[in-house]
Amino acid sequence: VTLKITDREGTKHEIQAPTDMAMNLMEVVRSYELAPEGTIGVCGGMAMCASCQCYINSDNELPPMSDDEEAMLSEAFDVQVNSRLGCQIQVTPEMEGLELELAPES
């Protein structure tokens, strides 16, 4: 699927993400090196660091938040109504055209 990702410098990237590899949005951002090593995915995708926080700017249907994701976001900085943890969202075909913006480094 095509994802539109705005990095922390405000640069927009249109990238292709596979839907058949069980990748999550944090892993996609890392594999395209859209954020410097060590600034995203710090906890390894365990919903325990919020370094993968992103703002979802399109109305694609996404899986609901787990209790762990909700709890982590309630403690994170720069949280907005459209905040999600990228590591908790697996890439699926429903995400065609998804627009997301990386939250500031925390």
Chain residues binding ligand FES by CB under 6 A are 26, 41-43, 45-52, 72, 85, 87
Q: How are the residues of the chain apportioned to helix, strand and coil, as percentages rounded to the nearest 5?
A: 20, 25, 55
**CB of 54 or CB of 95, closer to ligand FES:** 54
**CB of 21 or CB of 46, closer to ligand FES:** 46
12 token code pair: 């927009």
Residue nearest to ligand FES (CB): 87
CA atoms within 13 A on the CB side of 35: 26
Minimum distance from residue 40 beta carbon to ligand FES (Å): 7
Minimum distance from residue 56 beta carbon to ligand FES (Å): 14
